[in-house]
Amino acid sequence: MIKRLLIGVLYNLLLIPGLVFACYKLYWPREGKTPFGKRALEHFGLGKRVSRPDVWLHAVSVGEVIACVPLVNKLLEEHPNWQVLVTTTTATGAQEVTRRLGDKVMHRYSPFDLLPCIGLFLLKNKPKQLWIMETELWLNWLLLCRALGIPVKLINARLSARSANRYQRFASFAQMLLSRLSWIGAQYEHDRDNFIRCGAAPDRVQATGSIKYDLDLDPQRIEKARQERRAQWHERKTLIAISTHRGEDQIMLDIAAKLRATLSDLLLIIVPRHPERFDEVADLIAPQASFARRSQNQPVEANTQVYLADTMGELLDLLAMSDIAIMGGTFSQIGGHNYLEPAALGLPCVSGPFDFNFQEISSQLKQAKALVLSENIDELIAQLTLWFNDSQCYHAASQAALHTVQANQGATARTLHALVFDMES
């Protein structure tokens, strides 16, 4: 008991410098960054009250919001009278909630994990349950939810062996976190095993599969984007570089330049991960290639070599306009990003060697021969050249990507059944 009290005190002391850093990351103005405005007060537990929502669903940012959309839609289809409050930490996450869910849900920014902030939020809103996407665990959230009788459930949770080893170095802290969860929906059996190894009760952890496979894609939107492609750049070969980070844009430009030795009409689309880097990437491209910026409605002309996708919320459209994807965040220790949207649209993918954040998805796509990873850029160029030039090989990889996604769908229904079962019983 005393040990847990000391851990709690130390944790809250360490939160103070952490809060200063969080405020800098969230609020410091940068070019292209979405501002919070007066709604920043919601991070401190202030803002408009939501009257006792049936579910408080926390999705920290864009990726988690996209993943939770099918779950929310199915929940409201089965329980149309339920009130759902979705919180995000980031402003871009909030934009995604508005764009994908509209007025079906209420949105607030999530409170910081300081006792006054989360305490005020909980006492004011009084949610019946808290569902957390993936593994966004905060000690004070869990402690106060337990004190107020609010069950906390973890959805689509991942815990790699590497992360589990880190948790075990702080076993008492990990136990404090995991013992306060009433249910964990782990993505796969190895995730389940790792949660149990770190102290979660075995009867509270269930392997449900990944709900990220249950993508909610609008076929009309996809067809419209494909028509736009045909109208703008006809049958040009198109490579899309997704979610690039600083240092990777040059790699993408170099790959495209080498590919043009045999594919003179190649169009490279670059989608930077962070909007504050849009101008920086434009400045990088300008002396090396002719390019157009999507934000400025500049057309893709016959001599355009690079299309800079410097807008938000249009990745699905851009993927539908492309042939092959190359994944950012994999050429350094970022750990990669989600392969599933390109795969669901039939795009084979190449990436660098560092995709440890999505190893299970990566493994399945590699096994299906729809994804190639390598630290050797020349190997990636050879694979891209093969796919662009051999239509039969490309078609096989495209179909393999689609089939991999389809074979893993169904986790949303399993997860939702487990989440609402005890609320109805």
Q: Say which CATH number the domain at 270 has.
A: 3.40.50.2000
Which of 42, 64, 96, 134 is catalytic? The answer is: 64
Q: Are residues 206 and 339 located together in one domain of the fold?
A: no
pLDDT at 423 > cutoff 70: no
Q: Are residues 29 and 159 located together in one domain of the fold?
A: yes
Q: Are residues 50 and 138 located together in one domain of the fold?
A: yes
Side-chain-facing half-sphere of 80: CA atoms under 13 Å? 1
Q: Which of 32-46, 112-126, 222-236 has the highest mean pLDDT?
A: 112-126
pLDDT band at 29 (very low <50, low <70, confident <90, very high): confident
Active site residue 96: no
Torsion 197-202-204-209 (CA) sign: positive
Q: Please, which residues have CB within 8 angstroms of residue 205's CB and are 6 or more apart in sequence? A: 183, 184, 186, 192, 195, 196
pLDDT at 188 > cutoff 60: yes
pLDDT of residue 217: 87
Q: How far apart are CA 2 and CA 69, in angstroms?
A: 42
Q: Please, which residues bridge with residue 207 across strands? A: 186
User: What is the mean predicted confidence (pLDDT) over 86-95?
Assistant: 94
pLDDT of residue 310: 95
Q: Are residues 237 and 197 located together in one domain of the fold?
A: no
Q: Give the pair of three-digit tokens for residue 352.
A: 């660098």
Q: Are residues 278 and 310 located together in one domain of the fold?
A: yes
Q: Say which CATH number the domain at 197 has.
A: 3.40.50.11720
- CA torsion angle 93 122 55 12 (round to 10): 60
| 221 within 8 A of 100, measured Cβ to Cβ | no
Task: Write the pLDDT tens digit of every residue in 339-367.
Answer: 999 999 999 999 999 998 888 899 999 99
Q: Are residues 345 and 391 located together in one domain of the fold?
A: yes
Q: Are residues 267 and 195 located together in one domain of the fold?
A: no
Least-confidence region, from 72-81, 237-246, 282-291, 412-421: 412-421
Which range marks the domain in which residue 402 is found? Answer: 219-407
SS3 content of the chain, % helix, strand, coil (to 5): 55, 15, 35
pLDDT of residue 32: 66
Angle (CA) 59-201-174 rounded to 5° is 60
- How many other CB atoms sit within 10 Å of the CB of residue 317? 19
Task: Write the pLDDT tens digit of every residue in 227-280.
Answer: 999 988 888 999 999 999 999 999 999 999 999 999 999 999 999 998 889 999
Q: Are residues 209 and 80 located together in one domain of the fold?
A: yes
Q: Comparing C-alpha atoms, which of 289, 357, 291 is closest to residue 63?
A: 357
Cα Rg for the chain, rounded, in angstroms? 22
The three-class DSSP label of residue 302 is coil
Q: What percent of the chain has pLDDT over 90?
A: 76
Q: Are residues 413 and 403 located together in one domain of the fold?
A: no
The structural domain count of the chain equals 2
Q: Are residues 307 and 198 located together in one domain of the fold?
A: no
| 72 within 8 A of 104, measured Cβ to Cβ | yes
Task: Write the pLDDT tens digit of every residue in 260-275.
Answer: 999 999 999 999 998 8
Q: Are residues 147 and 259 located together in one domain of the fold?
A: no
Question: If you count them, how many residues does the chain have?
Answer: 425
pLDDT band at 16 (very low <50, low <70, confident <90, very high): confident
Q: How far apart are CA 31 and CA 286, in angstroms?
A: 18
Q: Are residues 352 and 241 located together in one domain of the fold?
A: yes
Backbone angles phi, psi at 291, to 5 degrees: -145, 165
- How many other CB atoms sit within 10 Å of the CB of residue 51? 10
- Residue matched to tokens 């909610």: 216
pLDDT at 424 > cutoff 70: no
Angle between helices 62-78 and 91-101 (to 10 degrees): 30
